[in-house]
Amino acid sequence: MLKPGDIAIVSGARTPMGRYCGKLKDFTAQELGAVAARGAIERSGIDPKEFDHVVFGNAQQTSGDALYGARHVGLRAGIPIETPALTVNRLCGSGMQAIVNAAQMIQTDEAKMVLAGGMEAMSQAPFVIRGRDGFTLAPGGKLEDSLMVALVDSYCGLAMASTAELYGEQHGITRQMQDEFALRSQQTADAAYKEGRLQEELVPVSLRNSKGEATGEMFTEDDHRRPQTTMEGLAKLRPAFGKNGTVTAGNASGIVDGGAAVVVMSVEQAQKRDLNPLGRIVNWGVAGVDPKIMGRGPVPATKLALQRAGLTLDYIDLIEVNEAFAAQYLAVEKELGLDRSKVNVNGGAIALGHPLGATGTRLVITLLYELKRRKKKYGLATACIGGGQGIAMVVESFQ
């Protein structure tokens, strides 16, 4: 039964995700976040002046002005200068954490209405020179790829792919199992596009040339997809980390750019405005795990979210699990006993891509739209988080 204090997600929108150094390479994370934000606001029918706060997640700050984060998203989306903004970073869970922060602000009467989301411009991750002190203005020192360095957890000394392999090994996940799941991701994403299911959540990005001028071309689809993928092709790919490894470019999530946004308010506020929300946030959970098997994060996070929601997996109609790596997903599936027919029915990050800070919001948006389409009730979205965490959220569709 709905209560006035329940938290509603009124609308959601995301940009298509652009492949690494592809058509979105010249857009900052804030610009992509703003495109999604404008789309979500327009779909909600809410005047931008009514928002009390802007909260956006971002994992790796890649552009020179990235530290302005959520503030620039809000301003670019037409939010008044008087409205404050907050950028949050829970790595791969940042976009979902932003929604949690929005809900908490509303629950504590800090805000009535919040614009929340996530953004990432992975293509803009710079090469850097550490230890600037002592250098002259002339170039010097060793160039470091900030993106590749960030994908290694210095605490446990393992690359993200290596943590996935370790977790997979613990649960008997083979290379063939990973490739089969990767193929499934590509095939379900292709089917979703052919049937027009994913397009509903997208807002196009107006592309521009090197001078910053609009070209007239609109970026309208996730272009990391590889619909022609075959098991034979996947089997030919070399392991990314060592000849005995199992993670490849084909069974890992794609490095992409993108933004996603939702409009969050109390059910009471939505009813006052005679709005028809996509659904409500039932509850959430965040948990820590061993950094060496960071991919296990969704297991305790999901259990906590379900416990707080007063539900079991049997009540969940659809599930979105971020496919950071096929090995990681398969181990999570095994531990939780997931019914794969309910999971990532429109493809996942292996096919669509994983724009770190935007992914959590993307999972929730995709989940709510698909629940609405199928006229189902409960959904679960969850993601593992580098460094050894997991985040999960249970939602209820109003359709």
Active-site residue among 92, 114, 265, 363?
92
Tokens of 39: 């789309």
Alpha-carbon gap, residue 247 to 177, rounded angstroms = 11
The answer to whether 384 is a known catalytic residue is yes
Residues in the chain: 399
Q: What letter would DSSP give residue 63?
A: S
Binning the chain into helix, strand and coil, the percentages to the nearest 5 are: 40, 25, 35
The one-letter amino acid code at 36 reads A
The H-or-E segment that residue 293 falls in is none
Q: Is 156 a catalytic residue?
A: no
Instruction: Sort strands 7-14 and 127-129 into parallel, antiparallel or unpaired.
Output: unpaired
The angle at the Cα of 356, spanning 301 to 125, to the nearest 5 degrees, equals 150
The answer to whether 309 touches 301, Cβ cutoff 8 Å, is: no
Burial 10-34 (b: 16+ CB within 10 A, else e): bbbbbbbbbbbeebbebbbbbbbbb
Q: Mind spelling out the 3-state secondary structure of 18-29? A: EECCCCCCCCCH
Which CA distances in Å does 279 have to 40, 149, 214, 266, 305? 14, 39, 36, 11, 17
Q: Which of 86, 384, 392, 394 is catalytic?
A: 384
Rg (CA), the chain: 20
CA dist 248 → 124, 160, 165, 243, 267 (Å)? 23, 12, 10, 11, 44
Residue 283 has a CB neighbour count (10 Å cut-off) of: 19
Catalytic residue IDs: 92, 384
